[in-house]
Amino acid sequence: MNKNSWILYIGILVFGLVAPFIFPAFKVQLSILCVLIVLATTWNIQGGEMGYNTFGNILFYGLGMYLCASVQVGMFFPLAEWTESGGEKTFVHTPSQFFQGMAAGLVVAAVVPTIVAGLIGYAILGLRGHYFAICTLGLGVAAGEISGGIEIIGAGQGFTTPPFPNIGGLEARGEFFYFLSFGALVLTFIAVRAIYTTRFRLILNAIRDNEDKAEAMGIETMKYKITGWMISAFFCGLAGGIMGGLVGYIDSTDVAFDGREMGVFMVLMAILGGKGTLWGPIIGATLFHFFKEGFWTFFLGWQYVALGVLIVVIVIYFPEGLMGWLREKYPERFGEVVDEADRKAQVELK
């Protein structure tokens, strides 16, 4: 790591810490952006580095969301009565109960999806290519449909997460969730960056490039695939838990297991930025968030139409994403050695 990148990291960190005070009106948007970056970065571990294009990370996100809220409520009050009462607040969390519940909830929300990923990983990750993609798509939708039929977590009518305690009002709520999600983002970034400097990333890349050969070279691919998926699940669950508290309301198919929105968003963000790179998903998520908010503001009602068109355009015209495009344009900046004569010859050919 050279001096420039340290300056960059510290600059971003400082910006992240002061951002909610500079843009106080955009706290919720910034928190959502952090969650989106976490999701895109963790999707990239599968889709970009490992070559397993999953629509199923939404499963862990939704699971984390439900678990966090359930633990937060269930620690102090009977869960069934809470969901029964719906929007009417018969139980009120005191501030200490709220924060304790949130902390415990986030731990559970991160750990349980990791275990789930480990358990189903052996079965699911044996599938390859589009079978894996469709299978995980099915998994996500099935989870949404099934959780929509379970009474104790609100079934079809949804689950209201505990409201933020009455200290400092909306400002404090926004700051709390912003710093929570920003913390998750920093944690994810450090973890992913650390992973990407190890042999683990090379193994994931080997699996992406040719799994049979990787196996023939003596790599226990299944072990690494499951580990990679568990890492994703950990951060997806965490992000889900935070998002549940931020949104304040959990619905099985529209918020938690929202394969049509969040499940596609994370894929799209990673592809837009450039999959298989560290910074690609981050840039992609930031750009995408701007696009999305623009659509939601200016094309209200038509946002899904715009989204559908955006997906098609990105997939057809920018399958390598922004980083891929930059890489093609400035290969030296990415550590590739370019022969000057060769490059000139290529330009002439064009």
Partner 1 sequence: MDFLVFQYPMITIQACLDGLLLGILFALIAYGMALQWGVMNIINIAQGDLVILGGYIAYFMYLYGIHPAWGVIVSPIIMYFVGIAIYKLVINKVVDRDLFISILATFGISILFMQLMNFAFGADVVLANSGYGTTMLFDNNVVLPNSKIFSAFISIVFAICLVVYMKRSKLGRAIRATAQNARAAKILGVDTEKVYAATFGINAALCGVAGALISITFTIHPYMGLPYTIRSFMIVIVAGLGNLPGVAMSGMGLGIFEEFADYILGTEFRIGSVFLLLVLILVYRRFKLSKKREYLK
The residue among 178 and 288 lying less far from partner 1, judged by its C-beta, is: 288
The minimum distance between CB 8 and partner 1, in angstroms, equals 31
The minimum distance between CB 178 and partner 1, in angstroms, equals 30
Burial 177-202 (b: 16+ CB within 10 A, else e): bbbbbbebbbebbeebeebbeeebbe
The minimum distance between CB 259 and partner 1, in angstroms, equals 8
The residue among 31 and 83 lying less far from partner 1, judged by its C-beta, is: 83
241 CB contacts (<8 Å, ≥6 apart)?
A: 64, 65, 67, 68, 69, 105, 106, 109, 110
Nearest CA-CA partner of 278 in 335, 195, 208 = 195
The minimum distance between CB 253 and partner 1, in angstroms, equals 10
The residue among 47 and 64 lying less far from partner 1, judged by its C-beta, is: 47
The residue written with tokens 């709520």 in the block is 173
The residue among 107 and 306 lying less far from partner 1, judged by its C-beta, is: 306
The residue among 51 and 245 lying less far from partner 1, judged by its C-beta, is: 51
> What stretches of the chain show up as alpha helix (H) in DSSP?
3-22, 27-44, 57-74, 79-85, 95-124, 129-147, 169-196, 199-209, 211-216, 221-247, 262-273, 280-298, 303-317, 321-329, 340-349
What is the rounded CA–CA span in Å between residue 236 and residue 140? 13
The residue among 120 and 187 lying less far from partner 1, judged by its C-beta, is: 120
Q: Name the burial class of residue 342, with classes exposed (0-12), middle (13-18) and buried (19+) by CB atoms within 10 angstroms of its CB.
A: exposed
The minimum distance between CB 182 and partner 1, in angstroms, equals 30
What is the rounded CA–CA span in Å between residue 81 and residue 30? 34
The residue among 52 and 235 lying less far from partner 1, judged by its C-beta, is: 52
The minimum distance between CB 196 and partner 1, in angstroms, equals 22
Query: What is the binding site for partner 1 (CB under 8 A)?
Result: 53, 123-124, 126-131, 133-135, 137-139, 141-142, 144-146, 148-149, 155-156, 260, 264, 267-268, 271, 301-302, 304-305, 307-312, 315-316, 319
What is the rounded CA–CA span in Å between residue 189 and residue 44? 12
The residue written with tokens 């990407």 in the block is 196
The minimum distance between CB 319 and partner 1, in angstroms, equals 6
The residue among 191 and 310 lying less far from partner 1, judged by its C-beta, is: 310
Secondary structure class of 302 (helix, strand, coil): coil
Which residues partner with 249 through β-bridges? 160
The minimum distance between CB 58 and partner 1, in angstroms, equals 13
Six token digits for residue 60: 């862990």
